[in-house]
Structure 1
Amino acid sequence: MDRAILLMLASILAGFALLRIPLEGTFLASLEPVTTIIGILAVVIFSLVLIYKGFMSLLGK
């Protein structure tokens, strides 16, 4: 399996981790909107890249 694909899957998991991390009651609570946006962007972008690579693989390119 291609290392880049595994790296993208790890990035998607990291994005989900940023979405689920509890920051209430800590000094990082003010950064929660930023971590949410970064998590959403990571999941969406890397998922789209994986879908694109899958289509290219199916088409033989």
Structure 2
Amino acid sequence: MDRFILLMLACILAGFALLKVPLAGTFLAGLEPITNLIGILAIVIFSLFLIFKGLMALLGK
């Protein structure tokens, strides 16, 4: 189970990396809104999942 939690944390970090990647001045500049959206979704979804798993662990399920 520890590897699964670490994978979720790595996904959150990857979401932050997508938000911070500089795409200005490259041929990928047009994809910046898409990478920002994917990064935000990754952060929110995996964070909510970790909060849910933490609450389930506290409640004993």
Shared fold (TM-score, shorter chain, > 0.5): yes
4+ residue segments displaced more than 6 Å: none
The one-letter code of the counterpart of 2:53 is K
Q: How many pairs does the alignment contain?
A: 61
User: In angstroms, what is the RMSD of aligned CA positions?
Assistant: 0.8
Q: TM-score, normalised by structure 1?
A: 0.97
1:17 alignment partner in structure 2:
17
Structure 1 unaligned spans of 5+: none
C-alpha displacement at 1:2, in angstroms?
A: 1.4
Q: TM-score, normalised by structure 2?
A: 0.97
C-alpha displacement at 1:18, in angstroms?
A: 0.1
C-alpha displacement at 1:30, in angstroms?
A: 0.4
